Structure 1
Amino acid sequence: MRAVILLSLLVAFISTINCQWSTVQQTQRGLPVQQISLVKTIGFTPNTLNNRFILQNDISRSRIPFPQCISSEQSQVLLNPSTLQKLLHQKLQEEERKLKQERVRNDGLKNNDIMDFDAIQLRADALNGALVARAATKVSAEIMSQLGCETNSTLTERIDRFLRRVRLPPSLCAFNTNPDCSGFTRFRTITGVCNNLERPYEGSSQTAYTRLLPAAYDDGISKPRSRSVLGGPLPACRQISVTMSSKPVFDTSFNNLFVGYGQFLVHDISLATPVTDSGRTPVSSCSCSSQDHDMCTIMEISSNDPFMAGQKCMTMPATAQAFTDQQCTLGVKDQMNGNSHYIDLSVTYGSTKKTAVGLRAGRDGFLKTAKKSWSKFEIPPGQREGKSCTDSTETQKCFAGGDSRLMENVLLSGIQAQWLRIHNLFAKKMAEIHPEWKNNDDVLYDETKKISSALHQRYTYDFWLPILIGKQATQQYTGDSGLFSRYDPNVRGVVINEAVTAALRLHTLVRDLYTRCTPQAKLIDQVWLHDILAKSKLAYDGANNGVDSLLCGALYDYGFAGDANFGQDIHHRLFETTTKTGEVKRHDIVAINICRAREHGIPGYNAFRELCGLRRASRFEDFADTMGPANAAKLQSIYDHPEDVDLFIGMNHENHVPGGLVGPVSACIIGTQFRNLKYGDRLFYKHEGQFTPEQLTAINKYTYNCFICHSTDIEKVALNPFKPPNDQTNPLGLCSECPAFDFNSWR
């Protein structure tokens, strides 16, 4: 029955494809324009689809340069609507079969960590959007293969332009009709839908990242970047990682709270959604022998690896796919952002209706919390289903939150706890000044959420970003001259693939040891990062004040310097586990960052030098304008050509911009990202019309140190909480002297 329904949906393919393939231009410099004239739509009988359509691939024939290959006689047969219908139907069936097999496997392993892909707010969930997008990419790759097209990473943009002429049937597209946004002009939707009223799905959860440069896939479609421009293979991800040092030094200009808040912020705007089975649990079959790069990312490990000898590979699910610009067409692979793209505290409130409703208390605008006798403040509630930590028990459950990575480390959990506490404190105050709202849970929730999100945006742009890219670059990309800023609907408030896959992967700053201290800032102890990674034990350590002890320690701990050194715990011992047979399994964040960027089709470092106004290097010595000679020589010892250097690795070898922790290419990408997320966000807190001048003044006066004082069991906090305390430049202030948030302008 499902096949019959699917076939009826595909019938619409004829009308959507007919006459869309009239002309294809050859854009290679110096070559004449090529045109193709496809055959007219042929007759279609649904019964013809009952026979499985199989294309014959003669791998012995010579490849034909693109786009000449699409002007052949075979293209006129392959690219007619009826044939394309059959091919799409075949790929959908194949991909759905794989996901059902994954579901059986996960059931056997009792894996039930369901990703939240419910019927999204204001959007129809037509089949599984990621499944349809992946099938469309498979069709695209099959077309190029069957036409004998000679493709490579330099042709991706032109191939994509050609393929995107073919739209999928409307019934297969979740973005076919625009939602009614009339009731969502003042408050954010949970999903981010209706932020841009002209393009209402832009920036919403479960939509594709955008790009600064065209993707670079080996086949021009979807195969991860793996070839040197000189023809040989790129060095393996783990092989590159091993050449990076694990002897970091401290940087006294920022503290560990700055690092933790950065992780919280990146989780707020981005979730590289993993491929899931038919029950929406991440796939678990990835192994060293996995071949489907659209399902799994495999990182090979050398037999003589100094830290992982005996472990053949590292694996992880590939990132789920999504349609570029919410246009359901054939085309080059793009990846899905599972969270709302905006800086909106979705990490706290959720990015889907199901998650958001599950986190609300259902009264007085409150969020759910848990109360423990040993804690001055409440803590996040326990999960009712799924398992985001490895040591959960009935009395010490993993925390629930708006993002599934809440328990990646307990410091991150503590930052989440702060925002929960502030939300409920503010909701209570709003009810006091507006007694008429006492029984209106939705109004109190939305009004409070709007203020909390504004504070999060302010602390990000006024405190966090200037430390990362420097005050000069922050002003260049995001600065304003007056009290208010202005929204620009032409700016795309969408997360950039290159930013979250490389530039904002700030793992070189992550330290190995985390301090815990009392509310009076007396040292309790130091714990290893691997003791708080995906573990809840210390979050419930009542004798030592739970998450608040780590929040206290983060104010005093220096961060590691921004360079090519990485802490041991994330470099060689990430998520370390021991199997039932005694085999130790480890991961490596550096290798993961390199391989994920290749999987996402991120071009090399050299391309972004040119994008950011630097000269494109033809020799490694040409990198001298962004890094020292020793670092350039190190890259030459790893790679065969400057074009081969991975973006993440190149950026971590750069000299820092003035007053920042990153180099010029990093600052360029990060600055562009935060400019877009400011001016492309209709509901950004500083934009005209979001708050009155008096309300905006109250938000600006509520300092981050007082926010911490009002949400953490601590007695003193430095003036700039992202920097270590210093008697002369960053003195400690008593929390007892912190003024409360001024709600008078909300009366």
Structure 2
Amino acid sequence: MEGLIQNRIRQRQPQLNIDISDLFSATSSATDSNCSDSGPCDLYSPYRTITGYCNNLKQPNLGTTLSNFNRLLPSAYEDGISEPRITAVSGDPLPNPRTISTTVHPDVTHLSTRYTLLVMQFAQFLDHEITFTPLNQGFQESIPSCRPCDSKQTVHPECNPFQIPPDDYFFPQFNSTTGKQACFPSMRTLAGQTYLGSREQVNQNTPYLDGSVIYGENNCVFQMVKGENGRLNSSDLGDGSKELLPRTATHPKCKSPSGLCFYAGDGRASEQAGLTMIHTIFLRVHNSINDAFQVLNPSWSAHKRFNEARRLVVAIFQHIIYNEFLPRILGEDALENFGLRLLYDGFYDKYDPTCSPDTLTEFGAAAYRIGHSLLRAEIPMLDNNFKPVCPPLLLRDSFFDTDILFTPNIIDHIARGISATPMEDLDRFITEEVTNHLFENTKIPFTGVDLISLNVQRARDHGIPPFNDYREYCNLNRADTFDDLADTTPADAIKQLKQIYQSVDDIDLFPGGLTESRLPGGLVGPTFGCIIGIQFSRLRQCDRFWYETSDHVVGFTKKQLAEIRKITLSKIICDNIDGNNDIHASAFDIPSDSTNPRVACDSLPALDLSPWKEKKNKYTG
């Protein structure tokens, strides 16, 4: 079967052989003058720039690609300037990140009784929309190997490896080939100093919810994904099924035996099969809207059709985030507290040109990594009749290996499986697929890395203060002892934290936040809920192009807004897969005959594009 798939792929090489290596490089394409924007802002354009330039008319560069991450609290570096935090308040070393992972975050399965795996998958897609932290690179943009324990001295000064503990249950303490101490590889993220002071990090993406995950974060990536006649580039299997993402033979992280991987506005679209699925769905959404506009408004140029389709796709994306996704993550009370409730009708008039949309480093490097808890070891697949497709796809087998996705109907199978199968509950437990086997070369033992260890290491790299500081920032009582955490944290989790940390003031933000009990009606605890709530509040309030805006230049009409407000992710998925057109009424919620039945796609509210029909006048006929 594998050989047949590879032969089929090789026979259908993409006509567009694009080199997308720059998608992973902030130091090349993104900084090229042809890739960025400059000059005066067009006050009368209804369209966003690709780079975020001129979203804020008073500060055109605010929120553009390659801006620095923002902070809620001042940085906490070891030396006060740049070095990652390594010392506990006692003066002893902080716990090893791997020890934190294995002690606080073991692999224990607790399937959710409320939500499907699509919550996890949409969360990752959304994360890639607003955060991409580029790593330092080596000679000619190579990716240095920071796995040797002495790599900081011998490979690259920004290598930041950490040792495998001597009592690790899975990874050997010593490299069997060299006999030397074994380490986990870690490279520090790119520093982006714009003023004197402590180290800050670069966000390669725009922070705005502007569809950069679909269309690219700079003009060079945009030109790679933009097709002809108002469409996005795509590929197909030639069997009449719906289009796939475009393919390339030059993807820098591709592990497919065929040599081909997908690409999209975000270079991580091939990272794992579920993520590729949702990228594919939104590619199809853009192209179907563009094609509909061509029929509805034949006088529109391809340029206008593309921009109107992009504008509508971004609005749909924003609506799904705030109408369906965030209520499940934060709960209704938090939505109210952070001003995240959408309007049922009318326009939003709270745009604030003085606020900063820049992604919070606490959000990107810790609080929004909650999705790692939701992962399952397998990517479930269901056929047209919602029967399991066997064997399921192991997560470890799809990391940048896309050949299986050329199997007919597999995008449909994954879409149905992810939207009808429980996710892991959001708790402190993490599947070993990402704590032992992340990006593993399956032919070589112990080549995987531990995602949770990297989360802890990354937060220290970014100078993120300890968890207790954020408790205090978020109006919780500052804990003087571990027992003081009992107001938000279960006793079993406190016991594990106490086992490895000497002081409550040493606890890293990620394990501290992930161990908290959830907010009423939500999935996250109060500290992460606070950070996530602040982030999404700013993403709405700081965005001049927010889809509900009352600004008549960039906003939609009342009738257009009414159509956007109908849309659900279930309808989006159902309209953009092949096979039987039925789906569960809410793709984020566990199927239930009484509360979330399977329904015909046509029974779900549809987007009526007639409010976008251009009115004729005496000049246009």
Contact 1:121/1:193 (8 A) holds in 2: no
Runs (5+) with no aligned partner, structure 1? 1-110, 126-173
Q: Is residue 575 from structure 1 mapped to residue 439 from structure 2 by the alignment?
A: yes
Name the count of aligned residue pairs. 574
**1:321 matched to 2:191:** yes
Relative contact order, higher structure (CA 8 A, sep 6+):
2
Q: Could you tell me how far apart the structure 2 residues matched to 1:550 and 1:391 are?
A: 19
Are residues 1:370 and 2:370 paired? Answer: no
Matching of residue 115 in structure 1 with residue 115 in structure 2:
no
Change in CA separation of 1:198 and 1:123 when aligned onto 2, cut-off 3 Å: farther
Instruction: Please give the alpha-carbon distance, in whole angstroms, between the structure 1 residues aligned to 2:31 and 2:495.
Output: 52
Aligned pairs for 1:137-286 within 5 A: 179-182=39-42, 185-243=45-103, 244-277=105-138, 279-284=140-145
How big is the shift at 1:435?
A: 1.1
The residue matched to 2:483 in structure 1 has which SS? Answer: helix
Going from structure 1 to structure 2, the CA distance change for 1:113 and 1:659 (only over 3 Å counts) comes to: closer
Is 1:466 aligned to residue 327 of structure 2? yes
Distance 1:452 1:642, change over 3 A: same
1:297 equivalenced with 2:163 (yes/no): no
User: What residue number does 1:341 align with?
Assistant: 207
Q: Does the aligned pair in 2 maintain the 1:209–1:334 contact within 8 Å?
A: yes
* Larger CA deviation: 638-647 vs 236-245: 236-245
Residue of structure 1 equivalent to 2:469: 607
The 8 Å contact of residues 341 and 493 in structure 1, kept in 2 or not, is answered as yes
Q: Specify whether residues 697 and 448 from structure 1 end up closer, same or farther in structure 2 by C-alpha distance, changes over 3 A only.
A: same
Match of 1:499 in 2: 363
Shift of 1:578: 5.7
1:556 is paired with a residue whose SS is coil
Q: Where in structure 2 are the equivalents of 1:69-108 lying within 5 Å?
A: none
The answer to whether 1:355 aligns with 2:218 is no
> In percent, how many aligned pairs have the same letter?
31
1:565 aligned onto 2:429? yes
Indicate the RMSD between aligned Cα atoms, in angstroms. Answer: 2.2
Q: 1:583 to 1:511 in 2, by over 3 A?
A: closer
User: Residue type matched to 2:417 in 1?
Assistant: G
1:520 paired residue number: 385
Deviations 1:8-63 (A, max 9, x none): xxxxxxxxxxxxxxxxxxxxxxxxxxxxxxxxxxxxxxxxxxxxxxxxxxxxxxxx
2:170 to 307, 319, 338: 307
Pairing partner for 1:556 from 420, 426, 431: 420
Amino acid at match of 1:727: D
CA contact (8 A) 2:249 2:261 kept: no
Tell me which moved more, 413-422 or 465-474: 465-474
Of 327, 332, 337, which residue of structure 2 is paired with 1:476?
A: 337
SS in 2 for 1:252: strand
Q: How far apart are the structure 2 equivalents of 1:537 and 1:634?
A: 41
Post-superposition shift, 1:211? Answer: 0.5
| C-alpha distance in 2 between matches for 1:268 and 1:377 | 24
* 1:666 corresponding residue in structure 2: 528
Alpha-carbon shift at residue 316 of structure 1 (Å): 2.9
SS in 2 for 1:587: coil
Residue pair 2:146, 2:152 contacting (<8 A) in 1 also: no
Q: Which amino acid letter does the alignment assign opposite residue 573 of structure 2?
A: I
What is the letter of the counterpart of residue 403 of structure 1? Answer: D
> Any conservation in 2 of the 1:427–1:448 contact (CA below 8 Å)?
yes
Aligned twin of 1:734: 600
Q: Which residue does 2:269 correspond to in 1?
A: 406
C-alpha separation between the residues in 2 aligned to 1:705 and 1:480? 19
Distance in 1 of aligned mates of 2:24 and 2:200: 22
Question: In the alignment, is the contact (CA less than 8 A) between 2:566 and 2:606 conserved in 1?
Answer: no
Q: Which moved more, 1:236-245 or 1:705-714?
A: 705-714
One-letter amino acid of the structure 2 residue matched with residue 349 of structure 1: Y
> Per the alignment, in what secondary structure is the counterpart of residue 247 of structure 2?
coil
Distance (whole Å) between structure 2 residues aligned to residue 268 and residue 459 of structure 1: 14
Q: CA deviation at 1:184?
A: 7.2
Verify the 8 A CA contact 1:113 1:282 in the aligned structure 2. no
User: Does 404-413 or 473-482 show the bigger shift?
Assistant: 473-482
How far, CA to CA, are the matches of 2:478 and 2:98 in structure 1?
27
State how far apart, in whole Å, the 1-side matches of 2:328 and 2:288 are: 29
Task: Answer yes or no: is the 8 Å Cα contact 2:146–2:185 preserved in 1.
Answer: no
Q: Which of 539, 560, 564 is the equivalent residue of 1:699? A: 564
In structure 1, what residue type is equivalent to 2:86? S
TM-score (norm 2): 0.88
Equivalent position SS for 1:214: coil
Q: Which segment drifts farther, 369-378 or 292-301?
A: 292-301
Deviations 1:580-636 (A, max 9, x none): xx5531201110100000000011110000000011111111111111223222211
Task: Name the structure 1 match of 2:310.
Answer: 449
Paired with 1:431 and 1:249, the residues of 2 have a C-alpha distance of: 48
- Equivalent-residue separation in structure 2 for 1:503 and 1:510 (angstroms): 16
User: Take 1:431 and 1:294, find their aligned partners in 2: how far apart are those partners?
Assistant: 54
- Contact 1:121–1:352 (Cα < 8 Å) also in 2: no
SS at match of 1:717: strand
SS of the aligned residue for 1:436 comes to coil
Residue 682 of structure 1 is aligned with which of 529, 532, 544? 544
CA-CA distance at 1:719 after TM superposition = 1.7
1:391 to 256, 267, 285: 256
Distance apart, 1:414 and its partner CA: 0.6
1:415 aligns with 2:278: yes
Residues 249 and 561, structure 1, Cα contact 8 Å, conserved in 2: yes
2:4 match: none
Residue 563 and residue 499 in structure 1: after superposition, are their counterparts in 2 closer, same or farther (change >3 A)?
same
Amino acid at match of 1:231: G
> Structure 1 568/186 Cα, relative in aligned 2: closer, same or farther at 3 Å?
same
Structure 1 residues 384 and 196: CA distance shift in structure 2, 3 A: farther
The alpha carbon displacement at 1:693 in A equals 0.7
**Max radius of gyration: which structure?**
1
Q: Distance in 2 between matches of 1:546 and 1:280?
A: 35
Distance 1:375-1:676 versus aligned 2 partners, 3 A rule: farther
The answer as to whether partners of 1:380 and 1:420 remain within 8 angstroms in 2 is: yes
CA distance in 2 between counterparts of 1:633 and 1:508 reads: 19
**CA apart distance, 1:349:** 0.6
Cα distance between partner residues in 2 of 1:355 and 1:472: 39
Give the CA deviation at 1:281: 4.2
Say whether the 8 Å CA contact 2:65–2:218 is kept in structure 1: yes
Q: Is the 2:323–2:342 contact (alpha carbons within 8 Å) kept by the matching residues of 1?
A: no
The 1:366/1:213 distance shift into structure 2, 3 A limit, reads same
Tell me the amino acid that sits aligned with residue 410 of structure 1: A
TM-score between both structures, scaled by the size of structure 1: 0.74
The Cα of 1:488 is off from its aligned counterpart by: 1.1
Give 1:623's match in structure 2, choosing from 471, 485, 488: 485
Q: Is the 8 A contact 1:388 1:406 kept in 2?
A: no
Secondary structure of residue in 2 paired with 1:584:
coil
TM superposition shift of 1:471:
1.8
Amino acid at match of 1:549: H
